[in-house]
Amino acid sequence: MEQVYIGLGSNLAEPVAQLDAALSALSQLPQTELVAVSAYYSSAPLGPSDQPRYTNAAAHLATTLTAHQLLDHLQAIELKQGRVRKAERWGPRTLDLDILLFGQHILADERLCVPHYHMHARPFVLLPLADLCPTDFKLADGRRLADLLRDCPIDPTLQRLPAQQSCTI
């Protein structure tokens, strides 16, 4: 079983409910077990500032699916929850599911880049991931999660949500 980490984000249509529904859908994926879920975090949007705050989290999965099979399932969950893919980058969305890490694999093709191409600069990705990983955790490319956290730009808008606003799986 591959150990996989998924980033979740939403800023439309009740973001906490969107993440809860996405986690429920992830727990139903074939050949996959939902192992753990991070706390939920809130932050200002990346990109256009005239949109609602984001709610983000991370999920740890164990799966025998391939990375591309998993990606297909994630995109189907996004569509089911009203995701509309637009040309606008970093715009508002009901749900965004990203494969952050897929075991110790490094993948780069037209559909998928793992480790996620820009996670090192996104505290709203790294902090939820750190909730799930040991402090000495290393990515497939050899980078240590602790180093990424140390070097990541500080986001003063990022806040951990109270436990009652986080999903308990």
Q: Which one is catalytic: 83, 122, 143, 150?
A: 83
Q: Which one is catalytic: 20, 98, 122, 131?
A: 98
Q: Which one is catalytic: 20, 96, 122, 131?
A: 96
Q: Over the range 21-36, which residues count as b (16 or more CB within 10 Å of their CB) and which as e?
A: bbbebbeebeebebbe
Nearest-angstrom CA–CA distance, 90 and 46: 6
- Per the CB < 8 A criterion, the answer to whether 167 and 58 are in contact is no
Task: State yes or no: is 93 an active-site residue.
Answer: yes
Q: Which one is catalytic: 72, 89, 93, 141?
A: 93
Task: State yes or no: is 122 an active-site residue.
Answer: no
How would you class 46 by CB atoms within 10 Å of its CB: exposed for 0-12, middle for 13-18, buried for 19 or more?
Answer: middle
Task: State yes or no: is 155 an active-site residue.
Answer: no
Residues serving a catalytic function are: 83, 93, 96, 98
